[in-house]
């Protein structure tokens, strides 16, 4: 079904998913907090570290963040290009594949992040996956759903 601007609802859904996947790369993929030291750290999908206190000093230069942020960023850009320039069957199949790859990038990172919650040297600490990773999965679902809906529109 087409809209007034010439794009189908499936294309709009996939395009929005591509934009959200690009934005999600800049959101926290990992976060840690220590209460007694008033310290926190967060790392986005591109490996950029921000925070304050002792945790930032401990992790700032010595940690290697092997997130697939660049892959998710590239797939988001590819989704936008596919939505704008490809048509019909190729578009729906390519969007479906991109959506599953974006979901995979998020799931792999969620599984690889070590979660910790407890006491360490008298300080209560918590660490784990940041909300950016869950937004990556949502964006992948949106792109894949756009691909499925586009496929359904072709067969109608």
pLDDT in tens, 97-120: 999 999 998 888 777 776 666 676
Tell me, what CATH number does 131's domain have?
1.20.140
Per-residue confidence at 39, pLDDT binned at 50, 70, 90?
confident
What is the torsional sign of CA 44, 47, 53, 58? positive
Which range of residues forms the domain containing residue 99? Answer: 9-155
> Does 2 map to a domain?
no
What total of structural domains would you count in the chain?
1
Nearest in space to 45 (alpha carbons), one of 130, 103, 107? 130
> Does 4 map to a domain?
no
Q: What is the pLDDT of residues 51-62, one digit of tens each?
A: 877 766 666 554
Rounded to the nearest 5 degrees, what angle is found at the Cα of 109, between the Cα atoms of 130 and 39?
A: 35
Residue 79 pLDDT greater than 60, yes or no: yes
> Does 1 map to a domain?
no
What span, in angstroms and rounded, lies between the C-alpha atoms of 70 and 68?
6
> Does 3 map to a domain?
no
Per-residue pLDDT at 74: 93
């Amino acid at each position: 079904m087409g809209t007034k601007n010439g794009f189908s609802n499936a294309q709009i859904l996939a395009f929005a998913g591509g934009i959200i996947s690009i934005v999600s790369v800049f959101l926290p993929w990992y976060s840690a907090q220590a209460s007694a030291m008033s310290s926190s750290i967060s790392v986005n999908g591109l490996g950029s570290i921000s925070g304050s206190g002792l945790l930032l000093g401990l992790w700032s230069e010595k940690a290697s963040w092997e997130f697939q942020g660049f892959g998710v960023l590239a797939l988001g850009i590819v989704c936008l290009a596919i939505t704008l320039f490809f048509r019909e069957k190729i578009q729906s199949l390519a969007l479906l594949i991109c959506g599953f790859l974006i979901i995979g990038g998020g799931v792999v990172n969620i599984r690889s992040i070590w979660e910790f919650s407890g006491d360490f040297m008298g300080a209560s600490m918590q660490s784990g996956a940041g909300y950016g990773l869950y937004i990556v999965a949502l964006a992948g679902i949106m792109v894949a759903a756009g691909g499925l809906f586009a496929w359904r529109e072709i067969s109608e």
